[in-house]
Structure 1
Amino acid sequence: MPGVDGTLDWVLILAPYRRDAEYLRTLLDEHEVTVRLAAGSEELASRLNETPGVLVVTHEALNEAVLAIIAKHLAEQPDWSEMPIIVLLDRAAPQARMRTELSSVWPRTRQIFYQRPVGTLELLSGIQSALLSRLRQRDVRDHIERETELRRELNHRVKNILASVTAIFRMTQRTSTTTEKLVDDFSGRLDALSAVHSAVFEAGGETADLADIIKRTCSPYCGDGEDRIIAEGPSIQVGRDPGTTIALCLHELATNALKYGALSVPGGRVHLKWDVDSESEPALTIRWIETGGPLVAEPSKPGYGTRYIRSALRGIFGSPPEIIFDPNGLRCIVAGPLSRFR
């Protein structure tokens, strides 16, 4: 019964008298069950450390030293483990007394008793059943390990999300002059953050498609079913952190366009395009171009949104964006190595 990692699918036999060990090994070999033998107590202790799937032992071998070695191994098993023990009894052995004594020495263990001579099929079926039970235990172990790792990952992600929310709140608080503005700006930025996490979660990994992130971030600004923001570009996988930064910057641009730019009038449009060149080191370029809106004039002093966009995009692209206050519409163009977004 081969297992995935080969550590729990073999039988350890302690039968040092007569020819019991050889008989059992021959029987199990014929049915492709891996067998290892222990000749005495020292070898038994060493073999148990290799984590057998099932222990088969004849009652003649159960002296005080062997009982203690097995008891120690059982006591030190991990929580998921319960190694089955098959005991082969002679016809003349005091079965009731031995069961009671072994249950006392090895409490809460799975013990299976066979009286010799035992039928071949009966013994083989019992050993295979015990091995199958052992494999189920390994499945439980793997499940516990996965659950533990998932809890660690969840804890890590929750901490990161809370840190992001705190940073967004402080950023919003510094620029909000009224409670209403604080609520509106903070809610919008949280929506942008949520869009990225949803995209990454549904993608099933630590990256998401840039097109999906952009669509989720910009969809609240496409009112009345119209494509006010026309987004075009290839499928590109980006990491959670750069994806979050891009989403927040797009939110700032869209909010500005809704208040003062192309999205503030019915005929205005935003053309959002991204592409990757085919040079030796591919670069990602993102272009935000507004048309059909009010005339644009460069402000005498850059606002917080502009400062944030410049700083944030420089951080992930490696160079600052080009923000152009063209009279026909605001333009924001940024480019950087694609490798920075993995």
Structure 2
Amino acid sequence: MLPVRRLASFLMQAGLLGGRLNPRTNALVGVAASLAAVLVALLLRQAISPWLIGAQFITFFPAVILVTLLFGTAPGLVAVAAAAAASTLIPVPAQSAAQATSATLMFIFVALLDVAIISTLLVTNSALKRSLARIGELNDHLRAGEARFRDLLETAPDAMVIADRDEQIVLVNTEAERMFGYARADLIGQPITKLMPDEFRSGHQGRIAAFLAAPRLRRMGYGRNLFGLRKDGSQFPIETNLNLLPGSDGGLISSVIRDVTVRREGEERQALLIRELNHRVKNTLASVQAIVHQTLRTARDPEAFTEALTARLAALSQSHDVLTRNDWGGALVRDVALEQLSPYGRGVEGRFRLTGPDVMLSPNRAVTLGMVMGELATNAAKYGALSDGGTVEVDWALHEIDGAKWLRLVWTERGGPPVQAPNTRGFGTRLIERSVQGLSGVARLAFHPGGVSCEIDFPLLTSET
């Protein structure tokens, strides 16, 4: 069946003009063209008969060739048959019947050979057109694919550097230009080690050889320090993925490079915060432990213990609130005092007054001063000026001792119930004195009949202003 189909396809081969028509129209036009061409050849041959004796087929060969070329194989065969019939109308010198038959058969053979050759050329031409069309489609797909690849490459959020097996850079994207500070033209054709610090170049050949021996996705820089080198000589931490892009040239090495500077800085900040948090939690727990222990020793009964412990823990918590609002960067003396006194001034005008310059204390020292202020405020609320319509004044100022800056803070209570000096030194007094001693300072408490006063004097650190 296959040879029959091929023969049928060969016989139906269209010519240069017939390929533009549908098969049925092409057949009709082809037959009409064949007959017309043979008629013109016959008239032309008859016209030149007076000057040309014999060679009755001379004008029919061009007709067959032209019809086959323009309209295809089938019209060409029709033209051969029509020409063979029309040739009998050409006057020729006397010849025998055998000679006439032989001449006609020879014409038919040669004409069919012409038809076959031209048809083969038409088949080849059609195949070539289809091949060229297919090549054009493939080229379009290739160009579209290349455009998509370049778009993907250029819009990638990471730097992409593609090198050949000799480690010469053949392609980079915009992010690589930005990350390393080079123009694209400065990188193409350069060794990929151009983007590496010197200390990483020595072992690079071995790593690439191992990668090419067993090419697979390989991550580098994860869990270890790997750095890139910018044009200006600066280094920055990176992570990179290596992969092999297959191709007829042995493949290209693709490197996807990510700048992890921000992430590393974040990890370092996180580690620092964890260490700082651990330190602060330990300090806070130690403070709570001391407060609980000393409060328990001095409490007269469970109710007194609960009340004192709650007040002291509240003072500690309020000090932490001030620091939290400042991201643990320290706290102003004014804010520390205000946080401890504000619960006792709600709804009452002028219960306390704060006067002094802005002085920023470090976090731990702000907590210590907050504990002292909280103890003073609690005692004032229970027994002093804040318990019976009085007022509290807190004044502070800076002064120098031997060239070092000191802070002097004075707590003064007025208008409260008469004050009597206690017979024994309670935990509150010891808490105030020991806390200020922890600041390398001194605290002086005085119990005047008109109200309690406390003078606190301690040196400032060089970082405190």
Q: TM-score range by the shorter chain?
A: 0.5 to 0.7
Contact 1:192 1:251 in 2 (8 A): yes
Task: Write the deviation string for residues 152-203 of structure 1: whole angstroms up to 9, x where unpaired.
Answer: 4333333332222222211221111222212211111111111111111211
Does the alignment pair 1:31 with 2:208? no
What amino acid is the match of 1:274?
Answer: W
| Unaligned runs of at least 5 residues, structure 2 | 1-157, 226-237
**CA distance change for structure 1 residues 69 and 163 in 2, over 3 Å: closer, same or farther?**
farther
Equivalents in 2 of 1:299, 1:324: separation in Å?
11
Equivalents in 1 of 2:439, 2:199: separation in Å?
57
For 1:78, which of 213, 220, 223 is the aligned residue?
223
Equivalents in 1 of 2:380, 2:183: separation in Å?
78
Indicate the larger mover: 321-330 or 73-82: 73-82
Task: Write the deviation string for residues 293-312 of structure 1: whole angstroms up to 9, x where unpaired.
Answer: 22223233333322322222
Q: Which structure exhibits the higher relative contact order, with contacts defined as CA atoms closer than 8 Å and separated by 6 or more residues? A: 1
Alignment of 1:178-327 (within 5 A): 178-266=301-389, 268-277=390-399, 280-318=403-441, 320-327=442-449
Equivalents in 2 of 1:227, 1:158: separation in Å?
36
For 1:91, which of 207, 224, 248 is the aligned residue?
248
**CA distance change for structure 1 residues 79 and 144 in 2, over 3 Å: closer, same or farther?**
farther
Equivalents in 1 of 2:425, 2:207: separation in Å?
86
Equivalents in 2 of 1:334, 1:287: separation in Å?
6
SS for the counterpart of 1:299 is coil
Equivalents in 1 of 2:440, 2:352: separation in Å?
23
Equivalents in 2 of 1:246, 1:341: separation in Å?
17
Alignment of 1:123-162 (within 5 A): 130-131=256-257, 134-135=258-259, 139-162=262-285
TM-score by length of 2: 0.51
What amino acid is the match of 1:262?
Answer: A
For 2:168, which of 21, 31, 55 is the aligned residue?
21
| Unaligned runs of at least 5 residues, structure 1 | 1-7, 51-56, 99-110, 113-126
SS for the counterpart of 2:354 is strand
Task: Write the deviation string for residues 209-240 of structure 1: whole angstroms up to 9, x where unpaired.
Answer: 11111111111222433332212221111122
Aligned to 1:124: none
**Pair member with larger Rg:** 2
**CA distance change for structure 1 residues 38 and 331 in 2, over 3 Å: closer, same or farther?**
closer
Identity of aligned residues (%): 30
Contact 1:262 1:293 in 2 (8 A): yes
Equivalents in 2 of 1:253, 1:290: separation in Å?
10
Aligned to 1:67: 212
* Deviation of the 1:89 alpha carbon: 5.1
**CA distance change for structure 1 residues 295 and 72 in 2, over 3 Å: closer, same or farther?**
same
CA RMSD of aligned residues (A): 4.2
Contact 2:355 2:394 in 1 (8 A): yes
What amino acid is the match of 1:170?
Answer: H
Aligned to 2:295: 172
What amino acid is the match of 1:85?
Answer: L
What amino acid is the match of 1:287?
Answer: V
SS for the counterpart of 1:85 is strand
Aligned residue pairs total 283
**CA distance change for structure 1 residues 72 and 156 in 2, over 3 Å: closer, same or farther?**
farther
TM-score by length of 1: 0.67
